[in-house]
Amino acid sequence: MEFPIYLDNNSTTPMDPRVLEAMLPYFNEKFGNAASRNHSFGWTAEEAVDYAREQVARLVGSTSKEIIFTSGATEANNLAIKGAYEMYGSRGNHIITVSTEHKAVLDACKNIEKKGGSVTYLTPNEDGLINLSDLEAAITDKTILITVMYGNNEIGVVQDIKGISAIAKKNGILFHSDATQAAGKIPVDVMADGIDLMSFTAHKMYGPKGVGALYVRRKNPRVKVTSQMDGGGHERGMRSGTLNVPGIVGFGKACELCQNEMADEAARLSVLRDKLEKELLTIEEAYVNGNVAHRLPHVANISFKFVEGEGLMMGTKDIAVSSGSACTSASLEPSYVLKSLGLDDELAHSSLRFGLGRFTTDEEVDFAINHVKEAVHKLREMSPLWEMFKEGIDLKTIEWAEH
């Protein structure tokens, strides 16, 4: 085993060696610009992009004409939200989203509000799922877009996408989904799921960083987004800029591998994840965050009450995970996702997120289980809150001398 053991695949994934192999020729051998129409360097690059576009489209059930390449999911989210807002401005200026979305969606929505648009941020239930009735109630005659992520990056919760898209369709509203964590991990099909715009990226599925895609529906209805990056009209006028050919080739290969291996991988990883979770839940006052039934197969977000997340990560330095603790975020605020679920402070500051992946082994999970158990135990010995809990004191009754 190599240390630290990487269990943070929600943050990024190691590139699959087969992806790297596919990309290499496009750096200094077949290095042409895919938009160079007049010579074989360009044609070779264009061909590689076309092929990759097919591979990407196939993974999500779309056609190649509907895939717009971007620099990643953040850009795709921005393009979807700002692009739809600008394109459909005559129809309305209201967007509905959820408070647990990724910052790329939330900050793009804030930008819309600055421009004079209005945004409704739905609050999910305690388990992270939104109420479809809340969604319906939020719709107005000015609503032009609903954006709800497919799988949550912190807690792994998978929303009722079909239910949401049915409501969107019924009301003639476009539905965008940030599928960054879900694509390549679980079956995502824009046709079956009724999605009009969808963001996803290569580096979450064992591909390179710096390349992603926005799926833009062409039929029933035909959707367009106003470009946010101008200069040459690439990608059907929706995203200008020389294509990242090696990145795109890698993205395509990564999608193909996921398509072939996804089902087996999900089955294997959910067994490992369930084992990890079951063992860690034997620790007293340990809680899973998010709905356990509707969840990505490789994610576990667990809070260890009365122990602080960053301190816990320091004690588990042989594994690489992430925490919803304030100390680990630049702003000293605890995870807004966990707070949206209504988590108490002792739990919001105390979480660890485990993201298993293609290269995670049984041995590594066994090691992680023991490693975390030891660290939690050690930190509890050091925790005044744990001591008070054990004495039967209700922490909510204490008046804290904050500063």
Q: Which is nearer to another protein, 265 or 308 (CB)?
A: 308
Q: Are 266 and 297 in contact (CB under 8 A)?
A: yes
* Entry field: residues in the chain: 403
When asked if residue 314 is in the footprint of another protein (CB under 8 A), the reply is yes
- Minimal distance in Å, beta carbon 376 to another protein? 13
Amino acid at 315: G
Contact with another protein (CB under 8 A) among 128, 156, 250, 311 = 311
Binding mask 281-310 for another protein (x = CB under 8 A): -------------------------xxxxx
Q: Is 75 in the site for another protein (CB under 8 A)?
A: no
Residue 289 C-beta: closest distance to another protein, Å: 16
Helix axes 103-114, 73-87, angle to 10 degrees: 30
DSSP, collapsed to helix, strand or coil, labels residue 158 as strand
Among 2, 37, 330, 397, binds another protein (CB under 8 A): 330
Q: What is the DSSP code (8-state) at residue 333?
A: P
**Which listed range, 232-240, 268-276, 295-303, 375-383, lies at the site for another protein (CB under 8 A)?**
375-383
Catalytic, 109? Answer no
Q: Three-class SS string for 92-132?
A: CCEEEEECCCCHHHHHHHHHHHHCCCEEEEECCCCCCCCCH
The verdict on 346 binding another protein (CB under 8 A) reads yes
Q: Residue 85 or residue 386: which is nearer to another protein going by CB?
A: 386
The yes or no reply on residue 403 touching another protein (CB under 8 A) is yes
Judged by CB under 8 A, the residue of 29, 141, 264, 402 near another protein is: 402
Which residue among the candidates 109, 255, 258, 327 is catalytic per the annotation? Answer: 327
Q: Active-site positions?
A: 327
Q: Which residues lie near another protein (CB under 8 A)? A: 306-311, 314-315, 325-327, 330, 332, 334, 344-346, 349, 381-387, 395, 398, 400-403
